[in-house]
Structures are given as structure tokens and as C-alpha cells.
Chain A
Amino acid sequence: MEKTRYPIWFLGTVLAAITALAGFNVWAEHFILAHPVGGSVQTLSGFERAVKPAWLEAVQPELVFVGSSRVRDAFDASITAPPACRPTRRAAWCRTL
């Protein structure tokens, strides 16, 4: 009975889920970049934002790279892809990085 339709239901569910995820991402990107109070891009993890400042305070290192995520990436051979950046009129952040 449903044996013929099973692959169709399966693939239909997969396609629906992909569409929903892609739709959410498009909406989220638009929401973030075109927010009325100004576009922002959060690329740093919670560690970089919240824990690292306190950790630096405790360690008191002699040298600190400001904007360290980019500097760190520059020295990390395993990270080869450049940060995602799509210059638009609204997303001024991209040109100023």
C-alpha cells in the first residue's frame, strides 16, 4: 500500500525541513542585518564575549591582541576560509572590518 508512497513522504519531509531551515536562516539574516536599531553580526562565541575578558583580567598577560578572533585566525593554519562577508548598502559592518 504505502510502500510506493513511502519514499515520497520521506523525501517530502526532508525537503520541507530543509525549506523551513533555509527560510528561517534567510529571515534571521534579514532581521539581524536590517534591524531598526542598526545591523549587527555576532560571530564570536560565548567564551570570547563573556569568559575571555574575565580570564584576561585574571591572567594579566603581557600582550593582548585586540580583535583577537581575527588575529588568532590569521595565525591558525587550519582556518582557511575568510569570514562570511556580503557588502550591502545596509550592512556597513562588512566594509569596515
Chain B
Amino acid sequence: MPFNSYPYFLFLGLAVLGFRLLEASALTGRRVFLLLASYAFYAWWRADFLLLLCGSTLVNYVLGREIEQRRARGKARRPLLIAGLLFNLGLIATFKYDSLLVGTANQIFDIGLPLPNFFLPLAISFFTFEQISYLLDADAGKTHNYSLLDYALFVAYFPHLIAGPIVRHNDLIPQFRQLRARNDDLAAGVTLFTIGLAKKSLIADNLAPFADAIFNAAGRGTHLGATDSWLGMLFFAFQIYFDFSAYSDMALGSSLMLGVRLPVNFHSPYKAASIIEFWRRWHISLSAFLRDYLYISLGGNRQGPARRYLNLFITMLLGGLWHGASWTFMLWGGLHGLYLSINHAFRHGTRDMRLPAALKLPLHAASVALTFLMTSLAWIVFRAPDLASARNVAEGLAGMGHSAVVSFSPLAAVALLLLFGMVWFMPNSMELMWRHNPALPSPYENQHVTPAPFLSWKPTPLNAAAYGLLCIVAVLALSNLKPFIYFQF
């Protein structure tokens, strides 16, 4: 049930209505209702995999509670933690990386193993990571005697279940213990959901055919010309930006209608002036997870600069692999690991440099443009179906091909100018909604939401009518339905 579909609109409406009708009932009743609604949401896709979700939840809960109790009694808990990590990683390896592992083994050792053909369970990457963080936090003494109902709802809560944000137990469970439907949350949630829907159906889905045409041509072996390659790269850079931004807004808006705030996950990443800043703005919950549970566990920056850069590279490589069982995703992660290492080294080398005030703005603008260019180049391997196609597009950028899949019309130029204007100069949805504070704050200390200088949202009748009309326009554009890019992970 994608967020941008009529069944989801109906489901969400019924969930909000049911939740508000239960306002007078006990808190447990509302939590049970949300859990059942979340399981129904997941089962809509494939009911049999609901067993996998429930089984994984139960095993992790039992292990987490046991680790917690052993910690309190001062008993050994390391074997249980390792068993839990192996269980989760084994689950994701079986369902997600089986073909990659067996295929690679066949290529290297020429052993001819049959390729497994497991169906990838929806959202497995997300709920597995969330439960790994729970086990590690239980081991560190950061969990607080949760009930099975609280824990199951934390894992399955439908607004974040399919494609994030990757939530932590302490983000959600305290909120579940004081669930309350508020009218101002409903108003802000409906508005945020509408903004996301408009980004998806009016912008991202209209960019997709152009990006698809160019990357599909690359996949067929067409030697792309410079115009095709540059337009393909730029259109996909904007498509994935608006697609993921839309998804994040719709997830946060859906949850806010139920009175629960999810962590901010997307904060104008193309305004970043460095790759370090980019990862504090793009998929914030994933980068914070990788930082807290992988980079720091590998040693972080505690063992000298060389080891720090290696840790960064490994972290981003695995972050890339998290997106999918493909060499293209791994290369994408590796590229970002390399970018981050260079960025940290450059920052370290220039830390004592003082710039004249007159140069600050031009240098900032150049840094933003360079960051955008480097992330867009990396998107090529992310989007390309295989490495040969990615190479084809990259060679096209240098003018080595000759195709003309699309032409650079004045309309394309205007569209690109508008898109650059939106991502660089417009306030984002968190800034528009700052008065209501619709999300949990970013885990990065220096990434605060600044109030929008214009178009700031207030719950007035005029705004309600304006966003109502935007909602209708966005819904009418749904005939060109495309799933969210991040739903495949």
C-alpha cells in the first residue's frame, strides 16, 4: 500500500478516525488499535510475511529483555547479544543478499551453486536495523523495561514501517505511553502529508520518465551523448530528491495525524556546502544510525587519522550495500566514503585558515555547487541498472557518446532553473511548519530548523483552502502512479 495510492488514503482516514473515536477509551486500547492497523497495513502487501515481521519482533524482544535483565543482575550477556546480531544479520542476508553472495561465490570459485530465489520481504532493511539498535541499546543499558505491546508497536508502527525514518526505541515508545489525538497535530499532519503528496505526484513523478528514458537507453547499450548524460544525471538527482523528500513528509504527516512525532529525516540536502553536511541533511536517520552503531563501533576517530578514514570508508561502503544487493550500490557507498574522507582531510588541513569576509559568500556558493555536482555524479551509479550502464552515462558526460534520446529544449532549461531555485532557495517543509514543530529534532547538534522567512504555515482558513486545493491537484496527478524509490530497500 504505497503512501501515494487511494487505498492508503482510505486506510489512513480510517486509522485516524478510529484512533480519535477511541480517545475516551484506555491508552492500551489505542495502542492495540494502532498495532492492529499497522499489521493490517503490512499484510495488505503480503499476509504471509506478516509472520516474519511478528517472529522477528518476538525473538528480538525476548533477547532484548533477557540482555536487559542480565545486565541488571551483572551476568554475562555478550553471547545473547551476538546471537541476536547473528539472527538479524542472518535474516537480512538470507532474504536480501542471497543472490549477491551466491552469484559472487560462483564467479570467484566457479562452483555453480544454484541461485536462491527468495522474495524480498518489504521493509526488512528498516525493521532489522531498528531491532539491532534496540539490542545494542539494551546491552548498553539504554532500554527501559518495555512491554511487548510497546515494542511491537515501535517496530511495526505503519508511518515508518516501509521506508523509514529509521527510528530508535526511545524516539517512539515514550510517545506511545501518552498517546493523545490533538486537533493542531491533525491540522499540521494533513498539511505536511499534502506537501509530500504534491512533491511526489507533481514533481518527482514528472521527472521520472526523462531520467528513466536516458538510463534505460544506457542499459540497452546506447552510447549516450553529452546532453543525454547531463540531463539524465540532473533529472535523476532532482527526481530522487523530491521522491525521498515527499516520502519523508508523508510519513511524518501520517504519524502527526495520530499525535506521534517521527524524527526529521530530510533537511534540504542540496543546500549542503560539504559532503559532511550533506549526510547530516540526507536520510538523517540512516546516517545517524551508521554513525552511532557502525562507525563508532569500528573505532570512529579514536585511533588516528588513517584509521578514521578507513572507518568512514567501510561505514559508507556498508551503508551503500544496505540499499540493495548490488555492486552499483556498493560503489555508490564507496564513492561517498571517499568523498567524506577527502572532506575530513581537507577540513583538517585548512582548519587554521582564515578567509576574508568578502570571499565567504562566493566560496559558500561554490562549495554548495561542488557538493551538488559530486552527489549527482554518485547518483549515476545509484540509478544505473549495472556498472556498464553507469560507465556509459559517465562517458557521455565527457562527450564520448553521440546519442540524442532527449533534446535540450527551452522547456527543459526552464524546468531545471525552477528545480535549482526550489532546492537551493525555497524553505523546506520543516521550515514552513516550524511554528508547529512537526518532527523530533535532528540528532546532529548544528542542524536546527530555521523559521521560513516567507510562506510560514499557520492553521488559518485561507491556508486550509490553499492546501486543500493543492491536495486535489496532487491527487488528480496520481494517474501517473510510480512507487517511491526508497520502497525497494
Contact = CB atoms under 8 A, between A and B. Distances in A.
Contacts of B471: 10, 14
Nearest to A4: B183
Nearest to B466: A13
A20 to B, nearest CB: 9
B468 A12 contact: yes
A6 B472 contact: no
B184 A9 contact: no
B472 A7 contact: no
B464 A13 contact: yes
Contacts of A6: 183, 186-187, 190, 459-461, 463-464
A9 B183 CA distance: 13
Contacts of A13: 464-465, 468-469, 472
B467 interface: yes
A7 B469 contact: no
A70 B292 CA distance: 60
A5 B184 CA distance: 10
A76 interface: no
Contacts of B464: 2, 5-10, 12-13
B472 A9 contact: no
Interface string B181-193: 0011011001100
A13 B183 CA distance: 18
A53 B26 CA distance: 70
Q: Could you say which interface size class chain A belongs to?
A: 10 to 19
Q: Which of A8, A17, A18 has the most CB of B within 10 A?
A: A17
Nearest to A8: B464
A95 interface: no
Contacts of B461: 2, 5-6, 9
Give the dominant DSSP class at A's interface.
helix
B459 to A, nearest CB: 4
B148 to A, nearest CB: 34
Contacts of A11: 468
Of B186, B191, B468, most buried by chain A (CB within 10 Å of CB) is: B468
Interface in B440-471: 459-461, 463-465, 467-469, 471
Contacts of B468: 9-14, 17
Contacts of B186: 6-7
A34 to B, nearest CB: 26
A1 B464 CA distance: 13
A4 B459 CA distance: 9
A10 B186 CA distance: 11
B330 to A, nearest CB: 34
B472 A3 contact: no
B472 to A, nearest CB: 4
Nearest to A18: B472
A13 to B, nearest CB: 3
A4 B181 CA distance: 12
Contact of B190 (A5, A7, A12): A7
Interface string A5-34: 111111111100110010000000000000
Interface of B: 183-184, 186-187, 190-191, 459-461, 463-465, 467-469, 471-472, 476
Interface of A: 1-14, 17-18, 21
Given A9-B464, A10-B187, A10-B191, 8 more contacts: A6-B183, A6-B186, A6-B187, A6-B464, A7-B187, A10-B468, A13-B472, A21-B472
15 contacts: A2-B461, A4-B183, A6-B186, A6-B187, A8-B464, A10-B464, A10-B465, A11-B468, A12-B464, A13-B464, A13-B468, A14-B468, A14-B472, A17-B472, A18-B472
